[in-house]
Amino acid sequence: MAKVEGLRCRECGQCYDKAPIHVCELCFGPLEVLYDFESGPQITRERIEAGPPTMWRYADLLPLDGEPTVGRQVGFTPLVRAENLGRALGLREVYVKNDAVSHPTLSFKDRVVAVALSKAREFGFQTVGCASTGNLANSVAAHAAEGGFEAYIFIPHDLEQGKVVGTLIYGANVLSVQGNYDEVNRLCSEVAGKYGWGLANVNLRPFYGDGSKTFGYEIAEQLGWKAPQHIVCPSAGGSLVTKIYKALGEFSQLGLIDGVPTKMYVAQASGCAPISTMVKERTEIMRPVRPNTIAKSIAIGNPADGYYAAETCRKSGGWAEDVSDAEIVEGIQLLARAEGIFTETAGGVTVAVTRKLIEQGRIPKDESVVICITGNGLKTIDAVLGKIGETIPIAPSLASLEEALAQRAHTLPAKTVPVQEPLATAA
CA distance 38 to 31: 22
Does residue 332 interact with ligand PLP by CB under 6 A?
no
- Of positions 96, 202, 328, 346, contacts ligand PLP by CB under 6 A: 346
Task: Compare residues 22 and 43 and give the one whose CB is closer to ligand PLP.
Answer: 22
CA distance 41 to 103: 29
Least gap, CB of 50 to ligand PLP (angstroms) = 29
Contact, 352 vs 234, CB < 8 A? no
Q: What is the DSSP pairing of strand 93-98 with strand 368-373? A: parallel
Residue 236 interface partner, choices Zn ion, ligand PLP, none, CB cut-off 5-8 Å depending on type: ligand PLP
- 335: CB partners within 8 A, 6+ apart: 85, 96, 341, 342, 343, 347, 348, 351, 373
Q: Which segment (68-76, 188-196, 230-238, 321-329) binds ligand PLP by CB under 6 A? A: 230-238
- ∠ at Cα 420 (417, 423), nearest 5°? 70
Q: Binding marks (x or -) toward ligand PLP, 261..300, rule CB under 6 A? A: ------------------------------------xx--
- Of positions 16, 23, 29, 256, contacts Zn ion by CB under 5 A: 29
Does residue 375 interact with ligand PLP by CB under 6 A?
yes
Task: Compare residues 3 and 10 and give the one whose CB is closer to Zn ion.
Answer: 10
Give a three-class secondary structure readout of 140-160.
HHHHHHHHCCEEEEEEECCCC
Does residue 26 interact with Zn ion by CB under 5 A?
yes
Within 123-152, the residues that bind ligand PLP by CB under 6 A are 135
Residue 12 interface partner, choices ligand PLP, Zn ion, none, CB cut-off 5-8 Å depending on type: Zn ion
> C-alpha 376: how far from its chain's center?
11
- Of positions 2, 24, 120, 336, contacts Zn ion by CB under 5 A: 24
Least gap, CB of 36 to ligand PLP (angstroms) = 25
Give the residue among 267, 273, 297 at the shortest CA–CA distance from 376. 297
Least gap, CB of 325 to ligand PLP (angstroms) = 16
Residue 29 interface partner, choices ligand PLP, Zn ion, none, CB cut-off 5-8 Å depending on type: Zn ion
Angle between helices 345-359 and 325-339 (to 10 degrees): 90
- 266: CB partners within 8 A, 6+ apart: 233, 234, 235, 238, 241, 275, 276, 279, 309, 310, 312, 313, 318, 320, 321
- Of positions 54, 77, 185, 235, contacts ligand PLP by CB under 6 A: 235
Does residue 98 interact with ligand PLP by CB under 6 A?
no
Does residue 374 interact with ligand PLP by CB under 6 A?
yes
Give the residue among 38, 79, 73, 78 at the shortest CA–CA distance from 57. 73
Q: Please count the other Cβ atoms lying within 10 Å of the Cβ belonging to residue 45.
A: 14
Least gap, CB of 345 to ligand PLP (angstroms) = 8
Does residue 9 interact with Zn ion by CB under 5 A?
yes
Does residue 102 interact with ligand PLP by CB under 6 A?
no
- Of positions 131, 236, 313, 335, contacts ligand PLP by CB under 6 A: 236
Task: Compare residues 311 and 344 and give the one whose CB is closer to ligand PLP.
Answer: 344
Residues that bind Zn ion (CB under 5 A): 9, 11-12, 14, 24, 26-27, 29
Q: Which residues bind ligand PLP (CB under 6 A)?
A: 107, 109, 135, 234-240, 297-298, 344, 346, 374-375
